Structures are given as C-alpha cells and as structure tokens.
Structure 1
Amino acid sequence: MSARNLVILSVALNVFLAGALAGGAVWVRSGKSGPGYSLESAGGQLPAQDRKAFRQALREVRRDAHQVILDGQQARREAADLLQQPVLDTAALSAALERARNADVTVRTRLEQRIVEFAAASSVQARNLLAEGLVRRADRQSANAAKKSP
C-alpha cells in the first residue's frame, strides 16, 4: 500500500472517529443516556424474566402493527412533500397529518392495551415498577414544561 493511500485511509478513519465522538457527545448532552421515562421504558426496570416477557409482548404488538407504522411513515413523507410545494394544499396537508396521527394513536393504543394485559397478569411488585415509570414520565414532563414557560 502506498504512502498516499495510507494517508487517505488515515484521514477517512479520523473523520469517522471525530464524527462518532461528536455524535456521542451530542447524544449524552441531550439526555438520551439515562433511563427512559415512559410506561414502556419502565419495563426495563422489571426483573429479568418479566423484562423478557414484557419486551417480547411489545415486539409482538409492533410486528402486528407493522403496516400501520408504515402507513404513518408514508403519511409523514406525504406531508413533508406537500410542505415543499410552491403552493400549499392545506386540505391535503391536514389529511396527511391526520393519517399520520391516526396511525400513531393506533399503535400507541395497541401498545398500551398490551401493557395493561401484561400488568393484569403481573405481580404487585412488577406493577409498582411500571407505576414508577409513569410517575417519572409525569415528573419529567412537568419539569420540561416549567423550563419552557416564559
């Protein structure tokens, strides 16, 4: 391998590593490194066996809702395309956003229903862990809302 090729390879590797470090720093500073604050992420606090069953149940819901998820993504792409048109078709934009919102609500409803079913079959301790996840989420949302208030 020639010296020129080694320099090019070294520069490419350094650029990649610098990008990875910068991306990691942004990720950590944005608070994505800590635990989640939702009912779904609270499942990560469950004991190993329950956690595995919980995650499997949620994966099944997502697999079953795959087409709904794809429909929501397509609706968002359509909305983005409409926003980029020289003349805005507000009716079409509203319809695309409504389809995306309906898909999101459908998936969320299915996930939450499956969580309810999981909780109904769980121990009191497991339900307490899920409840703590809801409380953390509510507390975090309240704190974020207070920071954004003028």
Structure 2
Amino acid sequence: MGKLRIALLVSVILNLFLAGALMAGFISLRSGDRMINAGSLRIAGSELPVAQRRPFRTALRQARRAMRPSIIAGRAARTEAAALLRQPVINQAAVVAALDRARDADMVVRAAVERRAVGYAATLPPDDRAKLADAMQRRSQKARPAID
C-alpha cells in the first residue's frame, strides 16, 4: 500500500506542475506583451502600434519565404561542415569552404529581409518609423561585444 500512495502523490504533484505550466502558457499567449522570438528587426517591430505589427511581421515572413532556397543552401552547407568535422582526417579547407557558403547564404537572406523591412518602414508615418529606429538602436546597444 505504501508504494501505491507514493505513486499517487508523485502523479498528483506532476499533474499540478503540468496544469500550472499549461495555465502559464495560456496566459502568456493571451497577454498583449508577447515576446517575439526572431531577429532584431522583428523584435524592433514589436514597438510598432498594434495595427502595424502584424503587417510588418508578415512582410518579413514573406521575404524569408522568398529566400527559402538560400536558407536550405545554408543549412546544407552547415550539415556538410559538420559531416566533414566527423571525418577521421579533417580537411580544413573543405570545412572552411562549407562554413563560408553557409555564412554567404545567411547574409543573402539577412539582406533580403532587411531590404523588405526598409521598404515597409518607408510606408510608415514618421512617428512609427522613429519607434522602429529607437527599438533597433536599443537592440544594437544591448548586443555590443565587450572590448577589453
């Protein structure tokens, strides 16, 4: 009977923990101030008025979709680099070349997304553009590397 009580107690505690986690997730999704998991432009876009946020995020998403071949190429290059690193004898030039291709693909995607963001920002009123610029500036100041 003791083992059954312990199992029941563990089950109740686990269920309470899971219910709390589900409730916290539900509340965070319903709150107006959600965290945006994405690049700095998308995070900066969270400072825009509610009416402008969704179209801004949609524009960035469309730019990423258009760059899907480059995203896939970058992933493939990183996968290739990882496979080359697993080889018994490392071909450093091949690993570096694969990582160079991955970085180049990432930069092509980033440039396309940034161009689309600037194009969208050009359609915003000056006050909204200023909010976007302020958020980008705050974000860049947080990301500064330490200089010794």
**TM-score normalised by the shorter chain: which range applies?**
0.7 to 0.9
Percent identical among aligned pairs is 39
Partners of 1:108 and 1:87 in 2: CA distance? 34
Count residues with an aligned counterpart: 126
Corresponding residue for residue 28 of structure 1: none
In the superposition, the TM-score normalised over structure 1's length comes to 0.71
What SS does structure 1 have at the residue aligned with 2:143? helix
Tell me the CA shift for residue 61 of structure 1.
0.8
Letter aligned with residue 96 of structure 1? A
Q: 2:55 aligns with which of 53, 56, 59?
A: 53
Structure 1: 4+ residue segments shifted above 3 A: 33-37
| More RCO (CA 8 Å, sep 6+) | 1
Corresponding residue for residue 134 of structure 1: 136
What SS does structure 1 have at the residue aligned with 2:90? coil
Partners of 2:51 and 2:122 in 1: CA distance? 16
Q: 2:84 aligns with which of 75, 82, 85?
A: 82
Say whether the 8 Å CA contact 1:82–1:88 is kept in structure 2.
Answer: yes
Instruction: Specify whether residues 34 and 59 from structure 1 end up closer, same or farther in structure 2 by C-alpha distance, changes over 3 A only.
Output: closer
Say whether the 8 Å CA contact 2:40–2:136 is kept in structure 1.
Answer: yes
Richer in helix (by share): 1
Say whether the 8 Å CA contact 1:39–1:131 is kept in structure 2.
Answer: no
1:72-111 correspondence runs (5 A)? 72-111=74-113
Structure of larger gyration radius:
2
C-alpha RMSD over aligned residues: 2.9
In the superposition, the TM-score normalised over structure 2's length comes to 0.72
